[in-house]
Structure 1
């Protein structure tokens, strides 16, 4: 008979969040958590966040038929923000956290939703798929750094350069509105549009930030764990 595995202690993480909208967002989330009905649970909110990303994906893909479908992508961003921001907040508000399960599911869903959103952008008529994949690679690299730092430093960094997921959603919504207003414009670089330059530039910036943050974290770890002297 197989033995049930013993529970593993999960060390609490220090959440580091210095994005511009953090305080205003926290006040709003606290208000929403205090007024959330009992049937609303963190797991349902996590599912809702993924559904929002699917809606955003469909909005971008369907914009191949009409730019009006981009409004669906914007609605998806709002739904995704609500589900993604509220699930952990509600669990902490009600003191029903499941640290290991919540951390695993939340960040697994983050990877899936990021893939859906950027794939949708790449399948739209406004941004090339290869450019969207550059942005996806940059975001996932920075996410990997955050998850590794959580393991080796006990710090979960939720924002970089005073920007976090909420600011990024606002930037993507603004870009989507610009798509609706400007339409498809190749620009001055042949098949490369201004939207390609924007999305690709963000991807390169994220990759650069990953390299910088990796070097900074490696230096911190080297100071904490200096190279031992050779054995004689």
Structure 2
């Protein structure tokens, strides 16, 4: 079975890949890919608890970027460490992707329970995340290309946004727990989500045409 090629097209990808290569070399032998996967999930849990805790006190806020960092550290390094040590296993890859998926779902839902995003907006973001994730996996199966970013935004940029948004929202005095009805933030997120879904639909149709052309070319 052909392995999917990874296309790192995000803004931070070049710098991130250099950093990850350096970190993998420095990791001690006692650290395993599965331990890193667990660290990633633990980080997501820390950030999620801190986000919900911010409903009652802003003192929880410093734990949000810490948790997001741990989530990035574990999720970004587990698979790369396995490849570096030539111990990559499809079963381990399944665990890594599953943990990462649940980590992101947990974080997005936690934002909806925090003062920084309404639960309605959080579910809109979650729907978009799941749509793009599903299409990424479908595209990897059909075209053997795992696209890691769209319009320059990938998982790392998404995590960076999650780490910074609480501080920006707090500085702007945003408190979605007090809003009744659709707020301006809700409206903005809904509009952006609409554009994102339309863009994904266009890309899906374009890819479908290319696949059809490739198949017709092989049949000639």
TM-score by length of 1: 0.85
Change (3 A) 1:13 1:211: same
Equivalent position of 1:215 in the other structure: 205
Offset at 1:76? 0.8
Equivalent position of 1:3 in the other structure: none
CA contact (8 A) 1:132 1:199 kept: no
> Unaligned 5+ residue runs, structure 2?
none
Equivalent position of 1:27 in the other structure: 18
Q: Distance in 1 between matches of 2:203 and 2:104?
A: 21
Equivalent position of 1:119 in the other structure: 109
Equivalent position of 1:69 in the other structure: 60
Does residue 1:108 correspond to 2:86, yes or no?
no
Equivalent position of 2:168 in the other structure: 178
Q: Distance in 2 between matches of 1:59 and 1:209?
A: 33
* Higher helix proportion (structure 1 or 2): 2
TM-score by length of 2: 0.89
Equivalent position of 1:129 in the other structure: 119
Please say which structure displays the higher CA radius of gyration. Answer: 1
Offset at 1:162? 1.4
Q: Distance in 1 between matches of 2:197 and 2:157?
A: 18
Matches within 5 A, 1:124-163: 124-163=114-153
Offset at 1:27? 1.1
Aligned residue-pair number? 216
Q: Distance in 1 between matches of 2:19 and 2:207?
A: 33
Does residue 1:87 correspond to 2:92, yes or no?
no
> Unaligned 5+ residue runs, structure 1?
1-9
Offset at 1:196? 3.1
CA contact (8 A) 1:14 1:154 kept: yes
What SS is found at the alignment partner of 1:127?
coil
CA RMSD of aligned residues (A): 2.2
Change (3 A) 1:185 1:117: closer
